[in-house]
Chain A
């Protein structure tokens, strides 16, 4: 099946620093990718929809200046957590679909810990 690679799998950073998470579709082109956040013992919550070549669409309550999303190519979307704080510590997961209406394939997720 289709493969989505997410990197890094785990990152620990100091408060105030920025962290970039990459999401790549390895064997298909993805015009749309999704970024989710998962809190402990909670469901995955959609943060934003990332569209290739255009601005991301953020869900209500998600700060677009804090969570910068860039979808520069059909195979790569990045999420940058700017000026990270301990409350940003979470599990971030991306997904991508090969075409409109198709199944979403997920990355393995990134566990961010902000000290």
Chain B
């Protein structure tokens, strides 16, 4: 079945460092890909998404590009801030219908000043 694999955490970075969180997926067809973020004590929030190959999702300085050839959707940010500390989830939906998300295990990011 469909699955998402993302790098194990926790990831600890200094402020202004470059961030990469790897995410690869296995799916039939053409899934939509998402990154969700969960700040401490809060629910999941959509960070960015991409619905077809070569699409780039971006938001709040974060970017991820839908790479069908490598089945990847790596999350990047050029300069992290302390406020970016959270758990990041890579996810996919198998098709364009109202279907549930398949999540990766999540990666905890801690940014220190």
Contact = CB atoms under 8 A, between A and B. Distances in A.
A93 B87 CA distance: 15
B101 A103 contact: no
Given A4-B43, A106-B44, A108-B43, A44 B98 contact: no
B45 A106 contact: yes
A43 B43 contact: no
A67 interface: no
B103 A106 contact: no
Contacts of A106: 36, 43-45
Interface residues of A, number: 28
Contact of B104 (A6, A31, A43): A43
Interface residues of B, number: 21
Most buried by A among B43, B101, B103: B43
Contact of B106 (A6, A43, A46, A93): A43
Most buried by A among B49, B104, B106: B106
Contacts of B100: 34, 36, 46, 49, 95
Contact of B97 (A6, A34, A101, A107): A101
Contacts of A42: 105
Given A6-B43, A106-B44, A43 B103 contact: yes
A44 B105 CA distance: 7
B89 A43 contact: yes
B105 to A, nearest CB: 4
Given A4-B43, A103-B46, A95 B89 contact: no
Contact of A32 (B43, B98, B105): B98
B101 A108 contact: no
21 contacts: A4-B43, A36-B103, A43-B105, A44-B89, A45-B103, A46-B100, A46-B101, A46-B102, A93-B43, A93-B44, A95-B100, A99-B98, A100-B97, A100-B98, A102-B98, A103-B34, A103-B49, A104-B46, A104-B101, A106-B45, A108-B43
